[in-house]
Chains A and B, each alone.
Chain A
């Protein structure tokens, strides 16, 4: 029966070997317990301001990822994704067909998200 138990996957086993049990909770109650055990600690003002800038989009989050538009889309095959990453890594121009496809994808990704943002509490 073990072959059906996802806990018996070697990937899961390795994670259990590398991460202490208390830090891999799956249930909401256990997450709560873990966080309460760590304990609340106020954030320094400098860090708070920096993280606020990130959350509000005034400073990049994962800057090296932002520098590079996403290429991992369901519209591209695995080979195409690798090809795009390879060309970009070597600052080479993409073949025209692929370049057009990527451009269209990037244009769509650059559009603002269609999320209803409520006002500022007023």
Chain B
């Protein structure tokens, strides 16, 4: 058997419908994989609350639909592609870039960069703190220190973490967090970066008390 994604009869049927632009495929996509993708997004992006995970999936499927004629079953199954699209929307939502990306799609149609990012998955070596299938004691201590930070600082650090390789614009994040914390007044980008530094200083101290020196261990801030 050649390596590659597994395909079921449903995959084959839906692939043909996607390529043919058959509108009934939307309901079938949702019915088959909407729940599983939403559950995964909730776990992967725990900072998304309320209706956000559902909306992330809806927008992910909407974009997948626009892109459907480029779908290649040899690259990934439909279910996996739906997750990858939804994940990209989740990151945009977390980093305050959702409206900007929507505008790009409206202005330029299908954004080549966006879809390249969806496909490009860098393979990186496993970092020392992440060995083993479960949360390491070091990660557990860091999570405990994190939980003691003020809510705004938690939101900022988590957004940077969720952004991953996606470039985070502190101004866009400040506008988004201003809606939550400042009655809609934006938090300037410089202030966001200041809060981020302060939060890491607090985490550094907290971790040192637990005998972990982040800097000496090679963890760096940008």
Contacts and interface: CB of A to CB of B under 8 A. Distances in A.
Interface of A: 2-3, 5-24, 26-28, 31-32, 34-35, 38-43, 47-48, 51-52, 54-57, 61-62, 64-65, 68-73, 78, 81-82, 85-86, 88-90, 105, 108-115, 117-121
Residue of B40, B77, B97 ringed by the most chain A CB atoms within 10 A: B40
B83 A31 contact: yes
A52 B26 contact: yes
A21 B121 contact: no
Contacts of A119: 21
B83 A17 contact: no
B27 interface: yes
Nearest to B220: A3
Interface residues of B, number: 102
Interface majority SS (helix, strand, loop, mixed), chain B: helix
A78 B106 contact: no
B220 A2 contact: yes
24 contacts: A5-B125, A7-B126, A10-B219, A10-B221, A11-B163, A18-B143, A19-B44, A26-B123, A27-B123, A42-B35, A43-B30, A43-B34, A55-B58, A70-B100, A71-B175, A72-B97, A72-B100, A72-B175, A82-B189, A85-B178, A89-B179, A90-B185, A109-B106, A121-B17
Given A16-B130, A52-B30, A55-B62, A85 B175 contact: yes
B36 A21 contact: no
Contacts of B189: 78, 82
A5 to B, nearest CB: 7
A28 B219 contact: no
Contacts of A40: 32-33, 35-36
B96 A120 contact: no
Interface of B: 5-6, 17, 20-24, 26-27, 30-37, 39-40, 43-46, 52, 54-55, 57-59, 61-62, 65-66, 69, 75-77, 79-80, 83-84, 93, 96-100, 102-103, 105-110, 121-127, 129-130, 133-135, 139-140, 142-143, 146, 157-158, 160-165, 169, 171-172, 174-175, 178-179, 182-186, 188-189, 200, 214, 218-222
B58 to A, nearest CB: 4
Contacts of B158: 14-15, 18
A119 B133 CA distance: 47
Nearest to B22: A121
B185 A86 contact: yes
A23 B43 contact: yes
Contact of A13 (B59, B65, B108, B219): B219
Given A10-B220, A61-B58, A118-B20, 15 more contacts: A15-B158, A17-B139, A21-B133, A26-B124, A41-B39, A47-B34, A54-B58, A68-B99, A72-B103, A81-B175, A82-B174, A86-B186, A113-B106, A113-B107, A121-B21
Given A10-B221, A13-B142, A32 B124 contact: no
Contacts of A2: 218-220
A12 to B, nearest CB: 7
A20 B20 contact: no
Contacts of B84: 31
Contacts of B33: 35, 40
